[in-house]
Amino acid sequence: MQPASQTNGRINLDPDNAEDGLAQLVMTVIELLRQIVERHAMRRVEGGTLTEEQVEDLGVALMNLEEKMEELKEVFGLEAEDLNIDLGPLGNLL
């Protein structure tokens, strides 16, 4: 599957590439959520509210999630920059 064609960082959802564009959009949302979870986890680690075992478990979980994201990007033929959608005046998403 090839990624949806992009113009200036925006997803082009023409009928022939709708499936590709949808995959790109879903992967973008998942990556955004992954980054939010990672930032929240780092704040908790830095706040000192977690045990050493919880910090270790959290680190392993985050590494596994990032690894799975890389696998999915490969399956859908996407690069990291494909997930950084241009939101116009708001700038880039990621």
Query: What is the reported pLDDT for 11?
Result: 59
The candidate with the shortest Cα–Cα distance to 81, out of 34, 24, 30, 12, is 24
Spell out the residues 6+ positions from residue 24 whose beta carbon is closer than 8 angstroms to its own. 3, 4, 11, 76, 78, 82, 83
Which tokens in the block code for residue 75?
């399956």
User: Model-level pTM greater than 0.95?
Assistant: no
**Interatomic CA distance for residues 7 and 5, integer angstroms:** 7
**Interatomic CA distance for residues 48 and 33, integer angstroms:** 23
Mind listing the pLDDT tens digit for each residue in 39-89? 999 999 999 989 999 999 999 999 999 999 999 999 989 998 888 888 788
